[in-house]
């Protein structure tokens, strides 16, 4: 279980293909879909043709034990345009929730319905937030009540990506009033279900190519098999929660989904941030004021250097979190939230600085930086606001106070031989000292051999 930054050949190719797709098919039309606030169907079709819009593609990336494929893909896609990127990856958020909660049979039933196939695309939505409760899951008021072999869902959802136009809505609802937010379950509500009402498409500041909606569930009836995980597993989980009531962890499927998807969302923000830094660096090198390129001024150059540093730091956090998620290492110190916090905050700073660097040109729509600024702002709000990430991190740190840092806490790799003979061990230190002390007596070939063993890698 080693963390390695070297991309595999497949990851290298994936990032290259995703970048080509973003620069050939997304960037050229990003301005249009942003202005028109129109869903980018042709781009989704092209994504599907290129293999980027299918459940197996995402399951494959999620299953990558290095954890790096998914963030690499996301960063390239969102470098193109975050609004179009969201339209493309929204079903993957729903799929992540299905993947955590569903039985294998349900997974096989619903995963293809989330994406469809080229020429017959489908959409999926993950409907969690409500007008009274985005951050605070205790305020969720949507209820599901059993009625014979069906469930009846009543409630109100807000800010739902693909809401009302999706073929599959994964919806959380309280099923046990006594347990409140701990007594939730996830349901699949197919598009067009009677009682599922698209109240309105929301008019957004940024990410305008993606569809975001307010929904109502007016006595929406779904069959028993649409309860993800099945009724038996639900009963067991409710019984466990009743027993554990009052002892701390919320442990709902919904919260688990957000934890898992945070590195994915962080990588999206990094795509926007990187686009902005690249753009402003190029502009500042070309734009002349007072007889020299503006990049020659430290007031322009230093913020760019600071941002590039912060982006790389955020990327490392993101890849670490993604690697942890892929290897089942729990985010006990809030590592997923750290990645999302760092990446979304740097995206806002980078896009704002890009506008400043372009001056008046940055403030008008001739250049994409004002759009990126509007797009980036979403990232400090959705999938947990920056404040909520700080709450999660600080609570996690409090709970892990008696634990050493992650790199000391993790199970070591390399086995007992590494512990005895690896770099920094007592054995190697003694050999080095002995070799140095004996340098006048030991034949040169032996000394050369010892120094080859002990020297740093070239």
Ligand X SMILES: Cc1cc2nc3c(=O)[nH]c(=O)nc-3n(C[C@H](O)[C@H](O)[C@H](O)COP(=O)(O)OP(=O)(O)OC[C@H]3O[C@@H](n4cnc5c(N)ncnc54)[C@H](O)[C@@H]3O)c2cc1C
Between 66 and 351, name the residue whose CB sits nearer to ligand X. Answer: 351
The sign of the dihedral angle between the CA atoms of 232, 233, 235, 236 is positive
> Which residue has the CB atom at the shortest distance from ligand X?
134
Taking CB under 6 A as the binding criterion, the range among 38-46, 72-80, 261-269, 375-383 that sits at the site for ligand X is 375-383
Between 157 and 315, name the residue whose CB sits nearer to ligand X. Answer: 157
Interface with ligand X, residue 200, by CB under 6 A: no
Interface with ligand X, residue 189, by CB under 6 A: no
End-to-end CA distance of the chain: 24
Check if 335 is active-site.
Answer: no
User: From the CB of 159, what's the least distance to ligand X, in Å?
Assistant: 3
Interface with ligand X, residue 21, by CB under 6 A: no
Interface with ligand X, residue 126, by CB under 6 A: yes
Taking CB under 6 A as the binding criterion, the range among 120-128, 230-238, 319-327, 416-424 that sits at the site for ligand X is 120-128
Minimal CA–CA distance to 183: which of 193, 192, 172?
172
User: From the CB of 318, what's the least distance to ligand X, in Å?
Assistant: 19
Between 181 and 428, name the residue whose CB sits nearer to ligand X. Answer: 181
Query: Which member of 212, 252, 344, 351 binds ligand X (CB under 6 A)?
Result: 212
Taking CB under 6 A as the binding criterion, the range among 37-45, 65-73, 115-123, 158-166 that sits at the site for ligand X is 158-166
Between 107 and 391, name the residue whose CB sits nearer to ligand X. Answer: 391
Taking CB under 6 A as the binding criterion, the range among 2-10, 108-116, 128-136, 305-313 that sits at the site for ligand X is 128-136
* Integer Cα distance of 220 and 326 in angstroms: 36
| x-marked contacts with ligand X along 253-292 as a string, rule CB under 6 A | ----------------------------------------
Interface with ligand X, residue 378, by CB under 6 A: yes
Taking CB under 6 A as the binding criterion, the range among 132-140, 275-283, 296-304, 312-320 that sits at the site for ligand X is 132-140
Query: Which member of 182, 204, 241, 374 binds ligand X (CB under 6 A)?
Result: 204
* Integer Cα distance of 251 and 253 in angstroms: 7
Between 67 and 384, name the residue whose CB sits nearer to ligand X. Answer: 384
For the chain, what is the HEC assignment?
Answer: CCCCCCCCHHHHHHHHHHHHHHHHHHHHHHHHHHHHCCCCHHHHHHHHHCCCCCHHHHHHHHCCCCCCHHHHHHHHHHHHCHHHHHHHHHHHHHHHHHHHHCCHHHHHHHHHHHHEECCEECCEEEECCECCECCCHHHCCCEEEEECCEEEEEEEEEEEECCCCCCEEEEEEECCCCCHHHCEEEEEEECCCCCEEEEEECCCCCCCCCCEEEEEEEEEEEEHHHECCHHHHHHHHHHHHHHCCCCCCCCCHHHHHHHHHHHHHHHHHHHHHHHHHHHHHHHHHHCEECCEEHHHCHHHHHHHHHHHHHHHHHHHHHHHHHHHHHCCCCCCCCHHHHHHHHHHHHHHHHHHHHHHHHCHHHHCCCCCHHHHHHHHHHHHCCCCCHHHHHHHHHHHHHHCCCCCCHHHHCCCCCHHHHHHHCCCCHHHHHHHHHHHHCCCCCCHHHHHHHHHHHCCCC
Judged on CB neighbours under 10 Å (0-12, 13-18, 19+), 177 is exposed
Query: Which member of 159, 283, 372, 373 binds ligand X (CB under 6 A)?
Result: 159
Between 340 and 349, name the residue whose CB sits nearer to ligand X. Answer: 340
Query: Which member of 40, 85, 134, 362 binds ligand X (CB under 6 A)?
Result: 134
User: From the CB of 156, what's the least distance to ligand X, in Å?
Assistant: 12
User: From the CB of 378, what's the least distance to ligand X, in Å?
Assistant: 5
Query: Which member of 29, 199, 253, 391 binds ligand X (CB under 6 A)?
Result: 391
Catalytic option among 38, 335, 383, 411: 383
Between 193 and 385, name the residue whose CB sits nearer to ligand X. Answer: 385
Query: Which member of 84, 128, 173, 272 binds ligand X (CB under 6 A)?
Result: 128
Taking CB under 6 A as the binding criterion, the range among 121-129, 259-267, 340-348, 349-357 that sits at the site for ligand X is 121-129
Reported as half-sphere exposure (CB side, CA atoms, 13 A), residue 269 has a value of 34
Interface with ligand X, residue 312, by CB under 6 A: no
Neighbours of 435 (CB within 10 A): 17
Query: Which member of 296, 382, 406, 431 binds ligand X (CB under 6 A)?
Result: 382
* Residues near ligand X, by CB under 6 A: 126-129, 134-136, 159-161, 204, 207, 212, 378, 381-385, 387-388, 391
Residues known to be catalytic: 383
């Amino acid at each position: 279980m080693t963390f390695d930054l070297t991309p595999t050949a497949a990851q290298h190719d994936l990032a290259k293909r995703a970048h080509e797709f973003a620069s050939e098919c997304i960037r050229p039309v990003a301005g249009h879909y942003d202005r028109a606030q129109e869903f980018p169907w042709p781009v989704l079709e092209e994504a599907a043709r290129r293999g980027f819009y299918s459940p197996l593609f995402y399951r494959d990336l999620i299953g990558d034990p290095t954890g790096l494929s998914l963030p690499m893909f996301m960063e390239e896609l969102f470098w193109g345009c975050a609004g179009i990127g969201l339209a493309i990856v929204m079903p993957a958020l729903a799929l992540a929730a299905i993947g955590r909660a569903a039985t294998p049979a349900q997974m096989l039933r619903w995963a293809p319905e989330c994406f469809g196939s080229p020429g017959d695309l489908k959409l999926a939505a993950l409907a969690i937030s409500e007008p009274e409760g985005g951050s605070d899951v205790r305020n969720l008021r949507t209820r599901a009540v059993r009625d014979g072999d069906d469930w009846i869902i009543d409630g109100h959802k807000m800010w739902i990506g693909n809401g009302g136009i999706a073929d599959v809505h994964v919806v959380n609802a309280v099923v046990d009033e006594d347990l409140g937010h701990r007594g939730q379950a996830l349901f699949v509500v197919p598009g067009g279900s009677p009682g599922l009402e698209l109240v309105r498409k929301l008019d957004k500041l940024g990410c305008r190519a993606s569809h975001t909606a307010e929904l109502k569930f007016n006595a929406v009836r779904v069959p028993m098999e649409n309860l993800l995980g099945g009724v038996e597993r639900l009963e067991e989980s409710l019984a466990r929660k009743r027993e554990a009531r009052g002892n701390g962890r919320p442990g709902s499927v919904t919260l688990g989904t957000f934890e898992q998807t945070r590195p994915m969302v962080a990588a999206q923000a990094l795509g926007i941030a990187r686009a902005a830094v690249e753009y402003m660096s190029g502009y500042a090198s070309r734009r002349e004021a007072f007889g020299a390129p503006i990049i020659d001024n430290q007031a322009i150059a230093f913020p760019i250097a600071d941002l590039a540093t912060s982006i790389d730091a955020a990327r490392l956090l993101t890849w670490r979190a993604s690697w942890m998620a892929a290897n089942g290492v729990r985010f006990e110190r809030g590592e997923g939230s750290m990645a999302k916090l760092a990446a979304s905050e740097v995206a806002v700073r980078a896009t704002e600085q890009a506008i400043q660097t372009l001056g008046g040109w940055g403030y008008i729509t001739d250049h994409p930086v004002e759009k990126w600024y509007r797009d980036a702002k979403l990232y400090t709000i959705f999938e947990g606001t920056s404040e909520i990430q700080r709450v999660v991190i600080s609570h996690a740190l409090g709970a892990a106070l008696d634990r050493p840092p992650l790199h000391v806490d993790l199970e070591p790799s390399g086995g007992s031989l590494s512990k005895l003979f690896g770099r920094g061990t007592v054995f190697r230190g003694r050999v080095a000292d002995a070799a140095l002390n004996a340098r006048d007596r030991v034949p040169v070939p032996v000394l050369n051999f010892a120094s080859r063993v002990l020297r740093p890698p070239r």
